[in-house]
Amino acid sequence: MSHKPTVRVRQLGLVTYEAATALQQDLFQQTIDQKIHNRRNPDDQTPTAHHLLFVEHPPVYTLGKSGDKNNLLVNNTTLKEKGASFFKTNRGGDITFHGPGQLVGYPILDLDCFFTDIHKYLRFLEECVIATLADYNIEATRSKGETGVWLDVEGANPRKICAMGIRTSRWVTMHGFALNVNTDLSFFDYIIPCGIADKSITSMAKELGAAVDMQEVIKKFKEHFSLIFEANLT
């Protein structure tokens, strides 16, 4: 590759799932529109914009388009009591939980500027998380046939630390990953996370026995993302 793509990073703090999805959708559509314009107007080219959004969400359960609502084990009344909401979304994957203390990353990339391979894209995202966790001496890995990042997959206590679900159109991506940093894991008791009943959920704080500095995790993730995706982050 002659020059590295530039990815604009934005840290948005605590944002509702609806607001974050609306922003993603805007950036996603702008990127697609720009691609179409560039194809049709070879003499009037504008470089494609790439984005990486970091957010935390108030407690919310989200169900992917291929997901099963039966994996939500409580009714709306119980959800309200827990201070959580429920949202059907257009990403892949089944049900998951987002809440404070969880690092959610939404890359909106035009993969035409990187590589046109969705499988590779998901593996690269997983690799960014695995490398970040390694900086904390947490040995993470993939689970065959299951997207996301796991600990002790072949051992006695397999547990998931990061969920993933994406959407793509015209090689532009949206949605992304959710890494449990200091997440309140009790919220996962009310779902069958990702539809997988035989593995538990963990967080960096649980594994390390202490709360983790979110800004430090973001910094390390950005370093790995820049290397693995061969991108300049601004």
Alpha-carbon distance 122 to 104, whole Å? 15
User: Which among 113, 128, 162, 194 is annotated as catalytic?
Assistant: 194
95: helix, strand or coil:
strand
Told to judge if 128 belongs to the known catalytic residues of this protein, a careful annotator would answer: no
Contact 5, 108 (CB under 8 A): no
Alpha-carbon distance 23 to 143, whole Å? 31
Contact 150, 71 (CB under 8 A): no
Alpha-carbon distance 143 to 131, whole Å? 16
CA distances from 15 to 22, 109, 188, 219, 226 (A): 11, 21, 20, 20, 25
The residues that are catalytic are 194
